[in-house]
Structure 1
Amino acid sequence: MTQTPVEPLLAQMAGDLSALLERRGVEDPAMVGIHTGGVWVARELHRSLGLEQPLGSLDITFYRDDFTRIGLHPQVKPSDIPFSVDERHIILVDDVLHTGRTIRAAMNEIFDYGRPASVILAVLVERGGRELPIEADVVGTRLQLVLGEHVKLTGPDPLVLEVHKAA
């Protein structure tokens, strides 16, 4: 197992997000993290950017396309969107972008709350294996993993990025 410091990645992401928001002329965006690791990352980015809107969180369990394979008793946490989504610029945050299916599910849930002006995707880690045409706007790091390796964010205090080797 190898560990990567998360703080420099979060600082880089905050700077990249700030620059992107300025380039696009986005004022007063709202941020939403995807349970669980995405909420941890979003909490740090939200604090770094000094966003005025409260931080939102999504549990996309019921929006997953593999929900029936998960079983009848998944661990479901409540979603919390404490602001109006309509015509708001949303920063969607997750820890790892892999297949794209989690992001698709999160966007479906966000649109159930309303119609945002835009959605900016920020991820701590982008790795290969995309199954859907989804691309992050802001990426902390890109990892090329070999068969059997996986990446995991542990936390929340401290946040640690781990790459586990195949057994």
Structure 2
Amino acid sequence: MKEIMNQEQISRTIKRMTHEIIEKNSNLESIVLLGILKKGYPLAKILQKNLKDFAGITVDTYPIDIKAYRDDLDTHINKVNQGFNLDKKTVIIVDDVLFTGRTVRAAMDAINNHGRPEKIELAILIDRGHRELPIRADFIGKNIPTSSKEKVIVDLEKQLVTIDE
């Protein structure tokens, strides 16, 4: 495995992303962070803490389970409202790695069960390319060109980003 980012780099990158979110959004009170389960939610919680520290605002942060909305999995899971309302909110979908774009598409489909947001933005720690859908992140921690066979592993507990070849 090849180390791409260490603890200090990850921390600095997430702080920069937080400042970009603050700069781009004039109405921070309307922001809702949706962290895609499993790895996007812990990242969303870090962004939430940083927004509190840097801007003095506590934004709602929820995990979003997108399994029922995946078009590449044979699932028979009911599509349900997960208990939050996104009407007229600025929703920022948060995930660790952006690859084909299918996870983000599923998250946007899931959002439809939670109201109609004012707008949807995307915050990604690692963008590795290889998109299959026309999806682009608004807030990118780091672009890492990879081959389609490589796997990018984000471990927020160990504070490491690695590539497994």
Q: CA deviation at 1:98?
A: 0.6
Alignment of 1:104 with 2:108, yes or no, is no
Distance in 2 separating the partners of 1:102 and 1:147 = 16
Q: Give deviations 1:111-142, integer Å, cap 9, x for gaps.
A: 11111111111100111110000000000000
- C-alpha spacing 1:10/1:81, structure 2 compared with 1 (3 Å): farther
Q: Give deviations 1:51-100, integer Å, cap 9, x for gaps.
A: 423311111111000121xx77x9xxx98554x21111111101111101
Aligned partner of 1:28: which letter? Answer: S
Q: Residue 154 of structure 2: SS of its match in structure 1?
A: strand
Q: Which residue of 1 aligns with 2:159?
A: 159
Aligned partner of 1:113: which letter? Answer: H
Q: Which residue of 1 aligns with 2:59?
A: 53
Aligned partner of 2:22: which letter? Answer: S
Q: TM-score, normalization: structure 2? A: 0.85
Q: CA deviation at 1:21?
A: 1.0
Q: Residue 92 of structure 2: SS of its match in structure 1?
A: strand
Alignment of 1:21 with 2:25, yes or no, is yes
Q: Which residue of 1 aligns with 2:117?
A: 116
CA contact (8 A) 1:58 1:79 kept: no
Number of aligned residue pairs: give it: 155
Aligned partner of 1:49: which letter? Answer: L
Distance in 2 separating the partners of 1:10 and 1:30 = 17
CA contact (8 A) 2:123 2:139 kept: yes
RMSD of equivalent CA atoms? 2.1
Counterparts of residues 1-167 of structure 1 (less than 5 Å)? 1-3=1-3, 4-5=5-6, 6-22=10-26, 25-50=27-52, 51-68=57-74, 80-82=82-84, 84-155=85-156, 157-165=157-165
Q: CA deviation at 1:16?
A: 1.1
Q: Residue 47 of structure 1: SS of its match in structure 2?
A: helix
Structure 2: any 5+ residue segments left out of the alignment? Answer: none
Q: CA deviation at 1:159?
A: 3.1
Distance in 2 separating the partners of 1:20 and 1:58 = 23
Identity of counterpart residues, as a percentage?
Answer: 32
Aligned partner of 2:163: which letter? Answer: V
Between 1:107-116 and 1:146-155, the stretch displaced more is: 146-155
Distance in 2 separating the partners of 1:19 and 1:124 = 18
